[in-house]
Each structure stands twice: as structure tokens, then as C-alpha cells.
Amino acid sequence: MPRLAALSTRLPLLRTAVAAASAIPRRRIVCLLPKRAFSLAPTARAAAAAQALTSAQYPTLRRNPDFKTLNDNDVAFFKSAIKSPAGVITADTPDELEPFNQDWMRRFKGQSTLVLRPSSTSEVSAVLKYCNDNNIAVVPQGGNTGLVGGSVPVHDEVVLSLQNMNQIREFDPVSGILTCDAGCVLEVLDNHLAQKGFIMPLDLGAKGSCQIGGNVATNAGGLRLLRYGSLHGTVLSMEVVMADGRIVECGKPLRKDNTGFDLKQLFIGSEGTLGVITSVSILTPRRSRAVNVAMLGVSSFDHLMEVFKQAKMDLNEILSAFEFFDRTCLNLVKRHIPNVRAPFDADTRFYVLIETSGSNKDHDDDKLSTFLEHVMTEGMVEDGALAQDATQAAGMWNIRETITESLAKEGGNYKYDLSVPVAQLYDVVEEMQKQLAERGLYAADGSATGAVKHVVGFGHMGDGNLHLNLTSTGWTTELTQAIEPPLYKSIQRRGGSISAEHGVGLMKAPYLSYSKSADFIDLMKSMKKLFDPKGILNPYKYFPPS
Amino acid sequence: MPRLAALSTRLPLLRTAVAAASAIPRRRIVCLLPKRAFSLAPTARAAAAAQALTSAQYPTLRRNPDFKTLNDNDVAFFKSAIKSPAGVITADTPDELEPFNQDWMRRFKGQSTLVLRPSSTSEVSAVLKYCNDNNIAVVPQGGNTGLVGGSVPVHDEVVLSLQNMNQIREFDPVSGILTCDAGCVLEVLDNHLAQKGFIMPLDLGAKGSCQIGGNVATNAGGLRLLRYGSLHGTVLSMEVVMADGRIVECGKPLRKDNTGFDLKQLFIGSEGTLGVITSVSILTPRRSRAVNVAMLGVSSFDHLMEVFKQAKMDLNEILSAFEFFDRTCLNLVKRHIPNVRAPFDADTRFYVLIETSGSNKDHDDDKLSTFLEHVMTEGMVEDGALAQDATQAAGMWNIRETITESLAKEGGNYKYDLSVPVAQLYDVVEEMQKQLAERGLYAADGSATGAVKHVVGFGHMGDGNLHLNLTSTGWTTELTQAIEPPLYKSIQRRGGSISAEHGVGLMKAPYLSYSKSADFIDLMKSMKKLFDPKGILNPYKYFPPS
């Protein structure tokens, strides 16, 4: 097993690298957002237009004149309906209003003059009933960490923030079922569970800010989906306030309940367009005692698929992450992130980060050794390193998680979150490179002769989720036109999805037809009409503009 | 560790017992149903009333006069719309019609004069369009293995059987995604996957007859839910024919797709009332290389919960079943099932069957030893046995799976499929025993002084799913009244569900309000109206009679 020996000789290198990178905790880079000025993926254009109103950027999204403009009586009602004095923010304090009007990427900016922060379900109900009776448009908002402009107003919609509904209602250590308010921050819940030996079944970069209600409303994916599945499987029940103020309990905190339509599922991923989630019950697994992380260099995408298949076979029940990125991603991280070095020298086309988590460290080590022996002796992998401790593991995760930040430092960013059958994942990247090169917009050798400097691919290989990113000298209509229609058509042709996990929001609403048929969209519209006849909930988004 | 030694000394006993029980393959008892005359749970009354029409049993469910009575022109249309000559069964061949009119328990009997067996989605579409245009009521039918009377007609509804739509469309060994017609038999799919090293994420006693479309339409639970989760998480997409014949693709065979409402979820568990599922894409896990089975005797329910918690801790990612049954269940199995003996002699109040499955036999054995050492040295368990081979494992499963058959041999059966918070699972059984004893209907010492001979509990402890069964000298209105209102009220009070996995169908429709609020049921009705305005799909069921 000469390869395995090679692998182990790399470990000292890794130790040095990681010691230098030192205390960057895993997945913390994004956590502090949106409180810090640093943003993960501001594009040159977005940065320049930091103060541009969404309504100016999207002039066709005209304000719906059916919606009432707020007056003093309305504000007085809301002040009476919400008990907490800090529960109502008005135009009297514009600095306090601003963070609710603006997304953390600083790409979208609404013009709301009123933020409501109810502390109970009955307050949410009173607010929505009034809004519905008076045709007042509302944007439900969780942690406001979304990537598609779904959680901030377009015009003067009232912002309904769930942040004051942040109580853990119950945790049952026998079943692992957690019930909590929608406004609980994901990381707070995870820390709470950690003390009891359990873990949230989802994990995101934004965990320090995002709220469970928003996670559920947007059907967040993230890093644990490979292991614990989607929220459609783990969310057991929820409490929802309908547009007209009715409070509806959708299911119970039970693992099984087979009575009636599973209506809660409709709210998962509907981005606040059907109702406002006020509490959630979720099934949480036991926290794993042992975690291992390895990084491998692979010379071709075919080999990468072989490695993935082998991982599913050898690591099976303990496989908890299988993330990939291409050579350019690694090079950009090395260029822009201080003190980061690859854990080995081999320069390969692809890199993969594998995480296992299980209940027995010895067993997991043994499984991982078997797997590494397989992939190295059979030539699927060129080189690799296995983290020897938590710091080294954090160093490896740091490479994966600073890709977005590194790309942002290269200039303007075009970012796509795509789902395609795993075998075709990287074809999408190569096809884009070829198309742009043919138009003279990109030089395949990496020399910056065109408007596009880099076309890279990375993402959750285990979920068939590709993050296709392009860096450019700026945003132009010509470039957008060169990228988007061909890309979306390609995704449609491949039977993929134009949004794997980020959702629809404002950004992807016009392109929904690339992923969903006209009949399907018609059904969606009928459903919206049924749940929210006046269309007050999160208007201007999610549905293709008519 | 004296207890562990005791455990191992029991193994020779087990070997003898299992050798005698010999070749009863695991979970095969029910598989051949409904082809065999033997039925799992015929009650004395149901058996006696084998020929009684549902319409006679439920006189309040009057035929809806808006539905057209079929004439020769209609039959001629269907014969032209369905290409296969065997695709249309009429009253000319009553023997062929009968199995489609009757459920396998022989409890329900409809009066349909027409069974349609289309071979393609476009044929299903043509059939439904015609039925909708002509107000013809339709009962979609899969393998007809349901337990609540949902899959057979009440009056003269046309039966739309999916059994001729049985092609596997695609399997991707990289992602593990299987796409197939709705009429594929579950066991056929599982065998197909076994050859490729994968496994269906669900398993039922009825696997030899039930169809994946029916499984999905009824949101079947079963034996693998503890490990692989519910169909809401594993079904990735489906093709559905709406009541008016429109074919709607709900999602794509992708692990992630976050565009638009997840409408496929509505069809999961809607029992054919919203549309007809014609194909399904489902995520299938790798088949585990190693399987272990153990049976333990436990003296109290508190200890049982401790054992469950310990199993989740020590066995964690390899735990694949945690089934429990009480002492009476075991005694009845020993009485009625030939050549079955308990794997150990200890007479305890409860027994638990634990299964692990993982990718490495040595590791799993090791984890199981650690777990057994914990529970035995800490006194949670009185005695136990660990299967040494597949035959012994099958013998243990055989005990669990012949409980229903054994109960049936005791006389009339009242069967309830309940979901309650795990900690309260057995309280429901004891409460029922107490209530019936107080009314003189049951003798707590087991002597058959009252109408009720046994009140037993067993089920999927890991899912909080209790099968509460009563055996009686017969079905009487007095006894039904003594059991059902108090039971359903108790379940409602405990925040449980009156149907954990069997669904609603005809039997539980009147009791839906014990599990769902009036507002929720109103929303369900609006949804039904939206999807099936004329109400032609599976009428008289699922919704509380108005």
C-alpha cells in the first residue's frame, strides 16, 4: 500500500498549515453575518449599488396599488396589538429600520416604514388579521440570511420579524423531538441540543444568524442533508398563522401521524407566501461521538464519481459530508485567505472533502482506513490527507468554506446554485467554459482576456448540488445574456433544477418555468389564491411575473 | 458481567427453538396476501359477514346521485381508451371483478361493475378526463393491501387499478435514485435493488402484494422508517394524473430541488383523493452488509425506555428496528404458532426485538456487545438472546410478526394503530384495561369473564407507534362504544394520532376530528375542491361525513 504511506507522510505538512491557520473555527466565517460589514459574496456591481433600491433595480415590479399605504391609525393599531415596546419599529428610527429593509449581501433594499416584532402566536395572528382586513402587504422575515432576496421588502411592505419569538418550548430526550418558536436561532438550538447529546439535523454557514422558521420556510439544505435528509422528512409538525389570522396546527410532535393531508409540507419551502410559521417540531438525531475529516486529490470527474460510490459503500452509515471543489477554487483560496495551505502538494483537477461521524471512533477510523486503502490502491485518488485532530479538521473545512469569500475577492461574481444528476455535475461547468470561450468572453487557459476571469464548480457532490460561480470584470447585460439563458436551458435539458437549495425569492422567480411546467405553476397559483386570497404575503416574489 | 454470560448460555436453547421453526422466512407471513385464504386479522364478525356489502354495513353512506351510472357507451369508450385486451374487466366476468371489490381482510365489499387497468400514463389520463367530464366516480387501487377500507369501492365506483403499470424506468447507482411506475410491487423493487447493492427505504409485511404507488398514496410506514425516515423524505418526485386528466410532473429525480411549492407532498398520504400517482422517484440507500438481531426481556416500561435510550446511544447509526410487545403477545404466539418458542425462558412483562444493520459486521457486533453489556449490567434487562445466524434472526422476527395472526385465532379483534409520545405508549394499554375492567367487560387477571379476553400492546417503539389490540367474544355496539370514544379522547388528550401508519380510508374518516382541528379539516376540504372539483376521486372516504 505505497499510496497510503504517501498519504501519511503528508500529515506533518498539514499540521504546519493548520497550525498557521490556527483558530478559525469550522463554519464560522458566515455565522456572524449580517452583523459584520464583511459579506460573503458581494459582487462588484452590488457593492457599487449598495444603496440602490430594489424598486429601481427592478422597474417592472411596480407597487400593487391595491395594497394600502400605512397611516397613523394603522401604526396605532399595531402598537396596541404588540405588547412589547420594542416590538414596533417605525420611520422615527430609520437606523433601526434599515437592517430589516436590506439583505446581508446588500443587493436588495426595500422601503418599509414599519417593522413588527410580535412575541407570541396570538400577536402574529392579530397582526395578520388586521393586514388582511386592510389589504396591507407583509414580508415575513427570519434571520434575513437568504441569498435570493426573499426576506426583504420590494416596496413599502410591513416587515413581520419573528426574532422575538425565540423560546424553546419542549425537548423530549426519548424521541429526540424538539419543539420551539420559529424565531430561535439555529446555532442556539444546536448548542441547546449539544448539552443533551443531540444535534440539529441541519447546519448552515449562516447558523449564527438564521432562524429555524426561516430555515423551514425556505427549505434550507446545507451540510448535514446528505446524512439526515431534508426538512420534509425531519420537520414533524408546525404551527402556522394563515394570511387571515387563523392559527392552524399542522400535525403534532409525533414521529408518525397518518391522518389527513400533510399540509405542513406546503409551508416548507414556500418562502412565506402561504402563511407564517410560528413554531416547529423537528426530529433530532443523537450527536455523534466521533468525527473524522479527510481531503483527497482526484485527477478526473470520473474518478471523483468512483470515489463517491466507494465512500457510500465503505463509509455508508457514517458518511456525513462529501464536498468537492475544482483546482481553481483551491488556488483562489490559497491566493486570498491568509495562512491557508493545501494539506498536500499534489496538483489535481479536483479535491474532495469527506467527513464521517459515528458513535465509535475506533470503528470509524477503521472504516475510513479501509476506504482510503481502496481508493488509493485502485488509483482513484492521487494524494490525500487525514486530519489528526479537530484543528486539522477545521483547517480542511476552512478551505472548503472560504471558496466563496476568495471568489468575491476576484471581482464581480455570478453565482448559481444548481441541481443536476451527479454524473453530469461538472459537465455544466465545462459547457459554460466552452460557450464563453467561443464568444471570446473567457480564456480557457485562465488568462484574463475576456470579461470572465474564472468559471469554477464546487458543492455538495453527495446531493448532486453544484455551485457554479463565475468571476468577472463587472456585471453587464451582454454577459448576463451570454450566461443565463444557455445555462438555464442546459439545466432544463439535463432534468435539473435552477435552485437546489437557495430557493426562489426575487432573483429566480422569472426563471421558474425552467424547472416547473406551466400546469405545475398554475397549480401553485391556485394554491396561493386559496391560502392568501388577497396576496398580502411576500408579494412580488416566488411566482413568475405575469 | 454475569448477565452477559447468562445471555450467552441461552443461545443453545434458541438454536433448538429456531431449528424447529426452521425455514419461516422473515416477514413472509403476510406477503402472499391477498392471494391466500389466510388473512392476518379477520375478526369473527368480519369473517361471518364476509359477503356483507359495505353499503349495507354503512347505511348512512348513501350513493351520491350526482355520479353517473355506467352505460354501454361508457364501457365502449373505456375499451377503446385502454389498448390491452385484459385492461378492462366488466360484469361479464364477475369472478375476475370480485378481488377488486373486496379488501383482503374481507371486511369491505363494493359493487363496482368495471375495473380499468391502463398500461400507460396517457391511458390513465384519458380515463380520468372521461370520468371527470361524465361525473363517473373512481377508486384508484394499488395492491389492495390496506387496512382501513380505502382501496375498494363503497358503491359502484369504477376501480382504476395500476397493476399493469409495472415497469422500472431508471436506476442511478451513483445517486441511488430509482424511478418506476406506480404499479411496481414493493418486493420486486427491493429484489431489483438487492442485485445492485441497494435497498428500498421501506418494508412492509405486505411487500409481496403492495405497490409503490399505493405505498406512497397511503404514506406507508413499516419496519425501516426508524432508520430511513418517512416517504415524505425519501420520495423525490412523482408523476400524477389530476382528476381532470392533466398529467403533472411534481419535481424531478433529484436529491435537491428548491423551486416552487413541494406539491408532491400533498399526494403522499392523500389516499387517492387528490390525484392518481403514476410514477415515483425514490432515494434508496446502500444495502447493509451486516444484520444482527437480538431479543431482550424487560420487567417494566420504564426500563424499556431506558433500553431504547441506550440503544440510540450505543447503536446510533446502525439501529434499524426497535420493536416491542408485551407478555400476553408472546404467550399467544407460543399458543397458536407451531414450533415457536421464546429464545429464553425469563417471563418478563415486555420483550424487545432489536435489529442493527451496518456496513461492517465486526464493528456492528462490537457495538451490540457494548450495548448488551450496558443494559444487562445496569439491570435494565432481565434476560436476552442474540441471534447467531440468519435462521435464528428469522425466528425472532417470526415471533414479532405472528402476533397479529395469533390474536386473530383468539376470536374477534379490535385493532388500533396509534401514535403517542413514547413515554406514554403503554399507559394507553393499561388505561384501556382499567376502563374495561371497571365496566365488567374485562378481567385483569386474564380470566375470560367479560366480553374482552385480551388487551395487548405491541409495535414500533422507535417511532412511538402502538398497535393496541383487543380480542373479544364478538363485535357488539356496546363494546365498541365502551372502547372507542374513550380511547380516541385519550389519544387526543395525549397529543397523539388515531392513525400512525394505516391511514384514514373508510374506517377512520368519522374520527378525523380527534387528530385534526376544524380549521385544518376545512383547509383539507378546500384543497380537495381545488384538485378534484367534482369529487370523483375515492368518494365517501377520508373526510368526516358531513
Buried b / exposed e across B247-274, counting CB within 10 Å, b at 16+? bbebbbbbbbbbbbbbbbbbbbbbbbbb
Q: Per residue in B370-401, pLDDT tens? A: 999 999 999 999 999 999 999 999 999 999 99
Chain A: residue whose CA lies nearest to B493: A252
**B149 and B83 share a domain?**
yes
Strand B275-283 relative to strand B350-358, pairing: unpaired
Residues B109, B154 within the same domain? yes
Q: What stretches of A225-266 adopt beta strand conformation (E)?
A: 235-242, 247-250
Q: What is the ipTM of this complex?
A: 0.91
B317 touches chain A (CB under 8 A): yes
| Cβ–Cβ under 8 Å, residues A248 and A240 | yes
Same domain for A297 and A274, yes or no, is no
Instruction: Specify the pTM.
Output: 0.91
- In this prediction, residue A447 carries a pLDDT of 63
Domain assignment present for A85: yes
Rank B16-20, B43-47, B515-519 by mean pLDDT and report only the highest. B515-519
**For B229-274, where are the E strands, in sequence order?**
235-242, 247-250
Q: Tell me: do B396 and B294 sit in the same domain.
A: yes
User: Which pLDDT score is estimated for B51?
Assistant: 66
Same domain as A311, residue A271: no
Q: Are residues A293 and A194 in the same domain?
A: no
Q: A-B interface: how many C-beta pairs under 8 angstroms?
A: 276
Q: Are residues B275 and B294 in the same domain?
A: no
Residue B289, class by beta-carbon neighbours within 10 Å (0-12 exposed, 13-18 middle, 19+ buried)? Answer: middle
- Domain boundary residue among B358, B380, B404? B404
The predicted structure's pLDDT at residue B448: 58
CATH of the domain at B360: 3.30.70.2190
Report the phi/psi class of residue A144: left, alpha or beta, with left for phi > 0 and alpha for psi in -120 to 50. Answer: left
* Residue B526 domain flag: no
Instruction: Work out the minimum CA distance from B169 to partner chain A, whole angstroms.
Output: 15
Bridge pairing between strands B383-386 and B290-298: antiparallel
Residue-wise pLDDT for B144-188, tens only, equals 999 999 999 999 999 999 999 999 999 999 999 999 999 999 999
**CB-CB neighbors (< 8 A) of B316 in chain A:** 286, 288, 358-359
Quote the pLDDT of residue B106. Answer: 85
Residues of A within 8 A of B463 (CB-CB) are: 255-256
Q: Where are the alpha helices (DSSP H) in B388-535?
A: 390-401, 403-408, 425-438, 477-493, 518-531
Domain identity same for A189 and A207: yes
Same domain, B440 and B479: yes
Which residue in chain A is spatially nearest to B306 when comparing CA positions? A174
| Percent of chain B whose predicted confidence (pLDDT) is above 70 | 90
B275-286 pLDDT tens trace = 999 999 999 999
Judge whether residue B37 has pLDDT over 60: no
Select from B374, B389, B404 the last residue of a domain. B404
Phi and psi at residue A428, to the nearest 5° = -60, -40
Q: Does residue B279 sit in helix, strand or coil?
A: strand
Q: Any CB–CB contact under 8 A between A93 and chain B?
A: no
Going from the first residue of chain A to its last (546 residues), give the mean pLDDT of each consecutive group of 10, the final group possibly shorter: 38 34 29 27 43 90 98 98 96 96 91 98 98 98 96 98 98 95 98 98 93 98 93 98 98 95 98 98 96 97 96 95 97 95 92 96 97 95 95 94 92 92 95 94 73 94 94 85 93 96 95 96 97 98 92
- Would you say residue B138 lies in a domain? yes
Environment class of A274 (CB within 10 Å of its CB; exposed 0-12, middle 13-18, buried 19+): buried
Q: Which domain holds residue B129?
A: 61-161
C-alpha cell, B305 = 425506555
Task: Let me know if residue A55 belongs to a domain.
Answer: no
- Among B252, B260, B500, beta carbon nearest to A257: B500
If one counts the domains in chain B, the total is 4
Q: Which of A447-456, B16-25, B267-276 has the lowest mean pLDDT?
A: B16-25
Nearest to B174 among A259, A309, A516 (CB): A309
pLDDT at residue B90, rounded to an integer: 97
Is the residue at A81 inside a domain? yes
Question: Does A419 contact B255 at a Cβ distance shorter than 8 Å?
Answer: yes
Same domain, B146 and B196: no
pLDDT digits (tens, 9 = 90+) for B507-544: 999 999 999 999 999 999 999 999 999 999 999 999 99
Residue with cell 436453547: B13
Measured in angstroms, the CA of A19 and the nearest CA of chain B are apart by 32
Contact map slice: A 242-281 vs B, CB within 8 A: 246-250, 252-263, 265-266, 268-270, 274
Report whether B259 contacts A516 (CB < 8 A): yes
Question: Which residues on chain A are in Cβ contact (under 8 Å) with B542?
Answer: 260
The shares of helix, strand and coil residues in chain A, as percent rounded to the nearest 5, are 40, 20, 40
Do A504 and A487 share a domain, yes or no? yes
Residue B39 is assigned to a structural domain of this protein: no
Q: List B326's β-bridge partners, or say none.
A: B350
Neighboring chain B residues of A255 at a CB cutoff of 8 Å? 225, 419, 463-465
Of B266, B359, B499, the CB nearest to A261: B266
Exposure of B101 by Cβ count < 10 A (0-12 exposed, 13-18 middle, 19+ buried)?
Answer: buried
With beta carbons under 8 A apart, name residues in chain B contacting A463. 255-256
Q: Is A335 exposed, middle or buried (0-12, 13-18, 19+ CB in 10 A)?
A: exposed
pLDDT at position A449: 64
Cβ contact, residue pair B197, A497, below 8 Å? no
Residue B297 lies in a domain: yes
Positions of E strands within A359-449: 383-386, 412-419
**CATH code of the domain covering residue B133:** 3.30.43.10
CATH number of the domain that residue B505 is part of = 3.30.70.2740
Which of B311, B310, B353 is CA-nearest to residue B330? B353
- Domain end, chosen from A130, A161, A192, is at A161
Over residues B313-346, the pLDDT tens digits come to 999 999 999 999 999 999 999 999 998 988 998 9
Q: Does any CB of chain A come closer than 8 Å to the CB of residue B515?
A: yes
What is the average per-residue pLDDT within B55-79? 97
Is residue B42 in some structural domain? no
B20 has a pLDDT exceeding 50: no
Cβ-proximal residues to A171 (8 Å cutoff; 6+ apart), any chain: A177, A178, A179, A192, A193, A196, A198
C-alpha distance from B150 to closest chain A C-alpha (Å): 13
Q: Chain B interface, mutation test: which of A248, A258, A371, most B Cβ atoms within 10 Å? A: A258
Instruction: Say yes or no: A66 and A139 in one domain.
Output: yes
CATH of the domain at B239: 3.30.465.10
Q: A263 to chain B: nearest residue by CA?
A: B266
Question: What is the structure's pLDDT at A485?
Answer: 87
Is pLDDT at B302 greater than 60 in this prediction?
Answer: yes
